Chain A
Amino acid sequence: MSLTREEVLHIAHLAHLGIDERELPKFQEQLSDILEHFAALTALDTEGVPPTSHPLALESVMRDDEVKESLSVEDVLANAPNAEDDLFRVRAVLN
């Protein structure tokens, strides 16, 4: 399984991961090499085998919808790179 340059750029875009053009060939080669090793798995016959998304078969855990104490706004914003009036501040989302 070999990834093209465009595919690597597309994946990086989906993941919101900026990529330096000079790093692109390295990632393209390494990711292709890793996917190559997965080929045997994708060829395996798993017809009718249910997927396991969690190792333990737990029931969904439900609790009452109650108001409880949580972190203060001050604590929550303490690590914010840019905050204003109890809000996180970001650059324009729409250009």
Chain B
Amino acid sequence: MSEPHGLTAHEARDLLERRETTSRELTQASLDRIAAVDDKIGAFLTVATDEALAQADAADERLHRGEGGPLTGIPLAVKDNMCTRGIRTTCGSRILEEFVPPYDAHVIERLNEAGAVLLGKTNMDEFAMGSSVEHSAFHPTHNPWALDRVPGGSSGGSAAAVACGEAVVALGSDTGGSIRQPAAFCGVVGLKPTYGRVSRYGLVAFGSSLDQIGPLTKDVEDCALLLNAVAGQDLRDATSAPLDVPDFTAALTGDIAGLKIGVVSDYVPEGLDPAVRGIADSAVKQLEGLGAEVEWGVELPSTAHALACYYIIAPSEASANLARYDGVKYGYSYTEGESMWENMDKTRQFGFGDEVKRRIMLGTYALSSGYYDAYYLKALQVRTLIRREFEAALERYDLLFGLVTPTPAFALGEKTDDPYEMYLNDIFTMPANIAGLPALSLPAGFVDGPAGERLPMGVQLLAKPFDEAALLRAGHAYEQSTSWRDQRPAV
């Protein structure tokens, strides 16, 4: 890697260890890169220049004392739904446009302890509701591989920032595919950890039984390093799991001989574009070539209902979580009304965008008297069926395999008029959230766009709860046998 902004975290760490660069230089290179390209990309909502340089200097002192760790001095970006003390956290919404959190999210505390450098906060669909960042209240983000296309979402800012080298690595969050789908669209690695693996304390809540924070990185080794830093129990999130966290880099052995992988029929369905189908076929052959035992034809019949199940559960949870935006305690507040209630109604009317309103209304409806049993309870029962089918499949296989999305990145504006069409984007990714399983999105090649653009595609691996190590082991072996990770967009 010749350009400092193209470095992975482990390459940057090696340079820092050999004293061939400093965190200050790396951080300045990232800030320069942001200044040079972010007008075109739009990955950031806030760039914390002064804070980042101060953190870089502190990291350099720490490295100088020989007290650094793997992420000390590494410049990274964080999706703007994780609270950062003293740095505004908008969640992509007007209602939080001027919100400056009085505390750090758990993951931010962990990154601070590790000595990482926070460059800034990345763009996202409002309250993480969307698959394209087009629902950001502020501006769109452009796909670094094709600027007239979406980066995916909702963590599209983080994915784009890593893909074009604005940040070395980034954190995103994934409620129905919001890490994996943008990772696939932008040609980077994205991991949704097992539900409970990473504390949600300080993550702005969307779907509390589905949300999980995870890494977006240029390669699998960086993914393991970042997961090492943020995983583990935190008593402030009662759903964070009381389990020991292994060193995930120890899983990167390159050896997957005998690993049993099942291809889920619904995630590589009939009728795909032949070029897209070819992505899945080639990845399967590659895994077989590495010694994995791959079997086609894993059937998960309840997956057919996963989309409806998800779009009842997630909006229901969101409608309850977003009740806190009342214009009283923080955030945008309408004050011209006659009564508190009128002010609250108007605060929410003017503060929220259309997609957030749709989901609040869908969720309110599904939870309302007379419809609770038909919608919400039914969705929770179907959730059980989906979970059981995964459990049965994962008794037979170490990992499950599928595509991340049925198509590559679509054009900006293409799906904004039809909310349901946008929801279909998550069809291969949301089942992992419904079942709470860990899932890894890996760059797996390119398909040609109509104007001859090279558009990245991703494949996805799913594992048993808390077996992220198996995902990273297989992902690493696959990645090392391909050249996809060496290809970066020309921005």
With A44-B382, A51-B381 already in contact, the answer to whether A93 and B333 are too (CB < 8 A) is no
From residue A59, how far is it (CB to closest CB) to chain B in Å?
A: 10
Q: Would you call B419 and A52 a contact (CB within 8 A)?
A: no
Residue of B nearest to A15 (CB): B364
Q: Would you call B385 and A46 a contact (CB within 8 A)?
A: yes
Chain B residues in the interface with A (C-beta under 8 A): 98-100, 102-103, 195-196, 209, 235, 238-239, 241, 305, 307-309, 311-312, 319, 323, 326-333, 335, 337-346, 348-350, 352, 357-358, 360-362, 364-365, 368, 374-375, 377-385, 387, 419-420, 423, 434-437, 465
From residue A2, how far is it (CB to closest CB) to chain B in Å?
A: 13
Interchain Cβ contacts under 8 Å between A and B, 7 examples:
A14-B368, A19-B357, A33-B419, A38-B308, A40-B305, A71-B102, A79-B331
From residue B393, how far is it (CB to closest CB) to chain A in Å?
A: 16
Q: Would you call B327 and A34 a contact (CB within 8 A)?
A: no
Number of A interface residues, CB 8 Å?
A: 50
A17 to B351, CA, bound (A): 10
With A40-B308, A82-B335 already in contact, the answer to whether A51 and B380 are too (CB < 8 A) is yes
**Is A6's beta carbon under 8 Å from chain B?**
no
Query: Of B98, B308, B385, B387, which contacts A55 at CB under 8 A?
Result: B387
Residue of A nearest to B332 (CB): A81
Q: Would you call A55 and B358 a contact (CB within 8 A)?
A: no
A80 to B437, CA, bound (A): 38
Q: Would you call B319 and A15 a contact (CB within 8 A)?
A: yes
A14 to B343, CA, bound (A): 15
Closest 3 CB pairs of A and B: A55-B436, A18-B349, A51-B380
Q: Would you call A91 and B340 a contact (CB within 8 A)?
A: yes
Q: Which residues of B contact A37 (CB under 8 A)?
A: 307-308, 420
A-B contacts counted at CB < 8 A amount to 171
From residue B467, how far is it (CB to closest CB) to chain A in Å?
A: 14
Q: Which residues of B contact A22 (CB under 8 A)?
A: none
Chain B residues touching A, majority SS: helix
A78 to B331, CA, bound (A): 11
Residue of B nearest to A20 (CB): B349
From residue B46, how far is it (CB to closest CB) to chain A in Å?
A: 16
Query: Of B305, B368, B420, B436, which contacts A33 at CB under 8 A?
Result: B420
Q: Would you call B308 and A95 a contact (CB within 8 A)?
A: no
Chain A residues in the interface with B (C-beta under 8 A): 3, 7-8, 11-12, 14-20, 27, 30-31, 33-35, 37-38, 40-42, 44, 46, 49-56, 58, 61, 63, 71, 75-76, 78-82, 88, 90-93, 95
Chain A residues touching B, majority SS: loop
With A40-B305, A41-B308, A91-B337 already in contact, the answer to whether A54 and B209 are too (CB < 8 A) is yes
A81 to B374, CA, bound (A): 40
Q: Which residues of A contact B100 (CB under 8 A)?
A: 78-79
Q: Which residues of A contact B361 (CB under 8 A)?
A: 8, 11-12, 15, 17, 27, 31
A1 to B395, CA, bound (A): 39
Residue of B nearest to A62 (CB): B238
With A51-B384, A58-B239, A61-B238 already in contact, the answer to whether A17 and B305 are too (CB < 8 A) is no
From residue A47, how far is it (CB to closest CB) to chain B in Å?
A: 9
Give me 18 other A-B pairs in contact (C-beta within 8 A), A33-B419, A54-B436, A95-B339 excluded: A11-B361, A16-B326, A16-B345, A17-B352, A17-B357, A33-B420, A34-B420, A37-B307, A37-B308, A38-B311, A44-B305, A49-B385, A52-B383, A53-B209, A76-B102, A78-B100, A81-B327, A93-B339
